[in-house]
Chains A and B, each alone.
Chain A
Amino acid sequence: DAGVIQSPRHEVTEMGQEVTLRCKPISGHDYLFWYRQTMMRGLELLIYFNNNVPIDDSGMPEDRFSAKMPNASFSTLKIQPSEPRDSAVYFCAGSQGSPLRGYTFGSGTRLTVV
């Protein structure tokens, strides 16, 4: 298994542009989580899905952020329009059967908004 696959690994974009981050979870992992990591705030939960259904999006910072999971093998996190303060590493993670288990993280997408 290739693990959780995220793309792109690095993204540099100009303020105001739309950014789409992608995640392919491990087959069979029915929970998918999006986290954002910054030096100041650490790992913050943005949103998570169970069986492709959003369960908790209270961590999504603003309406500029949206996430979808159209099927069990793909999820996207979109930022529109992007701002410099969105610069961070965005991780996708998954677990199987319960959120009360260790999560497997992807390699992350380092987003820089200039």
Chain B
Amino acid sequence: GENVEQHPSTLSVQEGDSAVIKCTYSDSASNYFPWYKQELGKRPQLIIDIRSNVGEKKDQRIAVTLNKTAKHFSLHITETQPEDSAVYFCAAIPNQAGTALIFGKGTTLSVSS
């Protein structure tokens, strides 16, 4: 089955700096890679996703890159703000019947002003 590794587990940055979170996956059949943000005590919420036919996707200060050959994908947050502080989860899912999202263990991002 799919296994998703996420690094780092914690990340502290100064406001305005960039933050990068990396994930690797094991199943080469995986072709959908979403990222979720979970604020303290709240539900995980989808912030961006990418499919295997795309190498990079941007949405304002957030971007995700995918390297299918190396089986890794990354979340990039530029010009970080205190409200970006949260736990970020990556996930992957193979394109086959009977599967669901498998999540990484999360990265706690702290942005200090």
Contacts and interface: CB of A to CB of B under 8 A. Distances in A.
B45 A56 contact: no
B43 A105 contact: yes
- Which among B43, B45, B89, B103 has the highest number of chain A CB atoms within 10 Å? B43
B44 A105 contact: yes
Interface in A87-108: 91, 99-108
Contact of A56 (B31, B46, B95, B99): B99
Contacts of A101: 32
Classify chain A: how many residues form its interface, as a range: 20 to 34
B43 A56 contact: no
Given A42-B105, A102-B34, A33 B43 contact: no
A107 B43 contact: yes
A99 B93 contact: yes
A45 B43 contact: no
Nearest to B9: A42
B100 interface: yes
B105 A45 contact: no
A55 interface: yes
B98 A108 contact: no
Given A42-B89, A42-B106, A43-B89, A106 B43 contact: yes
Interface string B77-107: 0000000000001000101001111111110
Contacts of A44: 103
Contact of B99 (A99, A102, A103): A99
Contacts of A48: 100
Given A42-B104, A56-B100, A103 B46 contact: yes
Contact of A43 (B34, B46, B93, B103): B103
B21 to A, nearest CB: 14
Nearest to B44: A105
21 contacts: A33-B101, A35-B103, A42-B103, A42-B104, A43-B44, A45-B102, A56-B98, A56-B99, A99-B93, A99-B100, A100-B31, A100-B32, A100-B93, A100-B95, A102-B46, A102-B49, A103-B34, A103-B101, A104-B46, A105-B43, A105-B45
